[in-house]
């Protein structure tokens, strides 16, 4: 499946075959694709909490307004951002880069994020949004369906997964075999309403 077809066919699926399991190789392939997503300064600040424990998934479902895809999809990912990734051994993000680039970029990471809590959080959310789309398109290319979710109690889920204090939850993403088609697309806004040339 090419990229344009994956974009056209990707839908937010709510109903999954609860008996279907993805293989370890498929899950590995999905995440190997995901981590190629871009992040500012290559800080790779996404963290993927892959929830396999059935009881924990049931608890998360309760915190997600009893939405069945939380337990029925093959894969449940609590997509988080480490908002302090920028200061955790930042040289490792550029260990394979040219030395002259390392000397410029690594100090710039600190200058860009230090004492800027909102920038750190915003960066994490941007990174998670990008990687979520990569996961969903890769899943579609592999013959799977997916759904991004923000319909849940973020604090409750954070407690359930022991979310560290320097992390935030961005969304849930489920992946699996659909058991029911999505509704027809409800309507896209015309391009001339969403594309602004040069200035508002």
pLDDT tens string, the chain, 200 residues long: the values are 899 999 999 999 999 999 999 999 999 999 999 999 999 999 999 999 999 999 999 999 999 999 999 999 999 999 999 999 999 999 999 999 999 999 999 999 999 999 999 999 999 999 999 999 999 999 999 999 999 999 999 999 999 999 999 999 999 999 999 999 999 999 999 999 999 999 99
Q: What span, in angstroms and rounded, lies between the C-alpha atoms of 15 and 61?
A: 14
What's the Cα-to-Cα distance from 95 to each of 15, 105, 156, rounded to whole Å? 43, 11, 37
Q: Please report the pLDDT score of residue 119 as a whole number.
A: 98
Determine contact, residues 15/68, Cβ cutoff 8 Å: yes
Q: Please report the pLDDT score of residue 88 as a whole number.
A: 98
CATH superfamily of 3-194: NADH Oxidase (3.40.109.10)
- DSSP notation for 69-82: HHHHSSEEEEEEEE
- Residue 164, sorted as left (phi over 0), alpha (psi -120 to 50) or beta, turns out to be beta
Q: Please report the pLDDT score of residue 26 as a whole number.
A: 98
Q: Please report the pLDDT score of residue 98 as a whole number.
A: 94
Q: Which of 145, 166, 146 is nearest to 80 (CA)?
A: 166
Q: Please report the pLDDT score of residue 158 as a whole number.
A: 98
Calculate helix-pair angle for 117-141, 99-113, nearest 10 degrees: 120
pTM of the model: 0.96
Domain ranges across the chain = 3-194
What is the sign of the dihedral through the CA atoms of 139, 144, 149 and 152?
negative
């Amino acid at each position: 499946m090419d990229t344009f077809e994956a974009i056209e066919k990707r839908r937010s699926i709510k109903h999954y075959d609860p008996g279907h399991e993805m293989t370890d190789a498929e899950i590995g392939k999905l995440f190997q694709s995901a981590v190629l997503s871009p992040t500012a300064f290559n800080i790779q600040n996404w963290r993927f909490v892959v929830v396999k424990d059935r009881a924990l998934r049931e608890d998360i479902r309760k915190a997600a307004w009893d939405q069945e895809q939380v337990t029925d999809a093959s894969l449940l990912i609590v997509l988080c951002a480490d908002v302090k990734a920028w200061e955790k051994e930042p040289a490792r993000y550029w260990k394979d880069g040219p030395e002259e680039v390392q000397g410029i970029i690594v100090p710039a990471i600190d200058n860009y994020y230090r004492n800027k809590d909102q920038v750190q959080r915003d960066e994490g959310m941007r990174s998670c949004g990008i990687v979520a789309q990569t996961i969903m398109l890769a899943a579609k290319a592999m013959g799977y369906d997916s759904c991004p979710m923000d319909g849940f109690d973020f604090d409750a889920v954070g407690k359930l997964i022991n979310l560290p204090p320097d992390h935030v939850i961005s969304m849930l993403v489920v992946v699996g075999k659909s058991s029911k088609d999505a509704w027809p697309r409800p309507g896209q806004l015309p391009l001339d309403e969403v594309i602004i040339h040069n200035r508002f």
